[in-house]
Amino acid sequence: MAKQKTTGIEAKPPSDNHVILELIQYDDKDYGMQADVPVDEILAQFKPGHVNWINVDGLHDKEIIQKLGDHFCLHALLIDDITSDHQPKAEEFEDYLFFTMKMLHSIKDFTIDYEQISFVLGKDYLLSFQEKEGDSFGAFRERIKQSSGKIRGKKADYLLYRLIDIIVDNYYTVLDNIGEQIEDVEEDVYKNPSVREFQKIQRIKKELIYLRKALYPLRDALSKLAKDEGGHIHQHTVRYFGDVYDHVVHLIDSLDTYKDLTSSLMDIHINTMNTRMNEVMKVLTVISTIFMPLTFIVGIYGMNFDEMPELHSPWGYPAVLISMGAIVIGMISYFKYKKWF
C-alpha cells in the first residue's frame, strides 16, 4: 500500500507498527519517487550525482535503522540519537551532518501534538527520520515533482534547508493558535473568572515552556549550521540557514511576549477572583451590620419581663417595626453616602 501524502498536516502512528520508507531522487532533469518499499531495494537504487531523499516514517524497527546506518557508515551514537528523544542539536562528522529538531503538527485542547524529526546530510543524499506517519511536506513534494522553483537545480543541503524552513514556518501557526487561545481565555477571565480558566492558563503556560525548550536549542543548532565549519553546506546555501535562524529568533521574541502575557493573565485572574471575593464579603458584611441592631432590639423584647411597658401598649408592636425599618433605611443611606457599595 503506497503512502498517501497531503498538503495539510497529519500526525498518526504508523498502522500495525509498519515502518514506511520513501525514496525521492532528482536532479535538474530527472525525477523519481517510490513509497513503501523495502530498505534493501531503496539502498540498491541509490543514484550518485542525484539528490537522494530517503524518508523513514516510524522508528520502532531497529533493524531498518541499523541497515541505513551501516550503509551510510553512521556512528552508533548518532543512531541512538535518532531513536531516542533529544533536544534540537546539530553535529558535524567527517562525511555527514546530523541535525535533529521537534516538528509541531497542531495544538488542540491546549496541548501541542509534536514529534522528533532527525536529518542526516551527506554527499548526494538526505536521510529524514520521523516518529509518525504524515507530515507537512506534501506540498513541497509536489513542487519537487513539478520542478517548481529552483529546488531541482540545487543539492541535498538546499533540500535540508527547505524541510527545516517548512517545519519552522509551522511553529508560527502553532504560536498564533496559542495567541488566539490566550485572547479567548483573557476574555473569559474578565467576564467570569473561574477555576476552569485558571486551569487553561496553566496548560498554556506548560506548552509555552515546552516551546521554549524546543526553540532555544534550535536557535543554537541553526547558528552552527549557518557557520558551516564542517563544509557540508555549500557557501551559497549558508545564507538560507541564516534566514531560518532569524525566523527562530523572531519566534523566540514572540514566545517571550506570550509568556509575559500568560503571567499577566494569571495575575489578572487572581486579582479578579480576589476582587469578586471582596465584593461578596462586603455585601455580606453590610447585611450582617444592618441586622446587628435589629437582632439587638429583638433580643431585648424577647426577655419576657412583665414590667416592660411596651409589651402592654397597643402600639408597641408597630412602633418597634417602624423603628427597626427606620434603622435599616438610615444605615443603608449612610453606607451609600460613604460609597461602601
- Residue 57 sits in a domain of what CATH number? 3.30.460.20
Q: CA–CA separation, 99 vs 101, rounded Å?
A: 7
Q: Does 144 share its domain with 184? A: yes
- Cβ–Cβ < 8 Å for 46, 54: no
Q: Does 89 share its domain with 196? A: yes
What are 43-93's pLDDT values in tens digits?
999 999 899 999 998 888 888 999 999 999 999 889 998 988 888 999 988
Q: Does 152 share its domain with 291? A: no
Q: Quick one: how far is CA 42 from the chain centroid?
A: 36
Q: Does 303 share its domain with 249? A: no
With 50 as the cut, is the pLDDT of residue 3 above it?
no
- In the chain, % of residues over pLDDT 70: 92
- Looking at residue 2, its pLDDT comes to 34
Q: Which of 217, 244, 271 is the last residue of a domain?
A: 271
Domain of residue 301, CATH code:
1.20.58.340
From 6, 22, 25, 9, select the one nearest 142 (Cα to Cα). 6
Q: CA–CA separation, 324 vs 294, rounded Å?
A: 6
With 70 as the cut, is the pLDDT of residue 291 above it?
yes
Region 106-118: mean pLDDT is 77
Q: Does 94 share its domain with 243? A: yes
Q: How confident is the model at residue 202 (pLDDT cuts 50, 70, 90)?
A: confident
pTM across the whole model: 0.76
- Cβ–Cβ < 8 Å for 25, 47: yes
Q: Which residues of 178-195 are buried (b: 16+ CB within 10 A; e: fewer)?
A: beebbeebbebbeeebee
Q: Does 158 share its domain with 290? A: no
Please, what is the average pLDDT of the chain?
83
Which residues, other chains included, contact 77 with Cβ-Cβ below 8 Å and sequence gap of 6+?
none
- Looking at residue 159, its pLDDT comes to 94
Region 129-145: mean pLDDT is 85
With 90 as the cut, is the pLDDT of residue 316 above it?
no
Domain hosting residue 308, numbered range: 274-337
Tell me, yes or no, whether 206 lies in a domain: yes
With 80 as the cut, is the pLDDT of residue 27 above it?
yes
Q: Does 236 share its domain with 308? A: no
Q: CA–CA separation, 57 vs 23, rounded Å?
A: 12
208 or 132: whose pLDDT is higher?
A: 208
Q: Does 177 share its domain with 248? A: yes
203 or 15: whose pLDDT is higher?
A: 203
84 or 149: whose pLDDT is higher?
A: 84
Question: Total structural domains in the chain?
Answer: 2
- Cβ–Cβ < 8 Å for 239, 163: no
Q: How confident is the model at residue 164 (pLDDT cuts 50, 70, 90)?
A: very high
Q: How confident is the model at residue 109 (pLDDT cuts 50, 70, 90)?
A: low
- Looking at residue 110, its pLDDT comes to 66
- Looking at residue 13, its pLDDT comes to 42
**Least confident stretch, 83-92, 168-177, 271-280:** 271-280
- Cβ–Cβ < 8 Å for 78, 91: yes
Tell me, yes or no, whether 118 lies in a domain: yes
Q: Does 131 share its domain with 214? A: yes
Region 297-303: mean pLDDT is 78
Q: What is the 3-state secondary structure (H, E, C) of the chain?
A: CCCCCCCCCCCECCHHHCCEEEEEEECCCCEEEEECCCHHHHHHCCCCCCEEEEEEECCCCHHHHHHHHHHCCCCHHHHHHHHCCCCCEEEECCCEEEEEEEEEEEEECCEEEEEEEEEEEECCEEEEEECCECCCCHHHHHHHHHCCCCHHHCCHHHHHHHHHHHHHHHHHHHHHHHHHHHHHHHHHHHHCCCHHHHHHHHHHHHHHHHHHHHHHHHHHHHHHHHHCCCCCCCHHHHHHHHHHHHHHHHHHHHHHHHHHHHHHHHHHHHHHHHHHHHHHHHHHHHHHHHHHHHHHHHHHCCCCCCCCHHHHCCCHHHHHHHHHHHHHHHHHHHHHHCCCC
Q: How confident is the model at residue 230 (pLDDT cuts 50, 70, 90)?
A: low
Q: How confident is the model at residue 6 (pLDDT cuts 50, 70, 90)?
A: very low
- Looking at residue 166, its pLDDT comes to 93
- Looking at residue 127, its pLDDT comes to 95
Phi-psi region of 77 (alpha: psi -120 to 50; beta: other; left: phi over 0): alpha
- Looking at residue 19, its pLDDT comes to 85
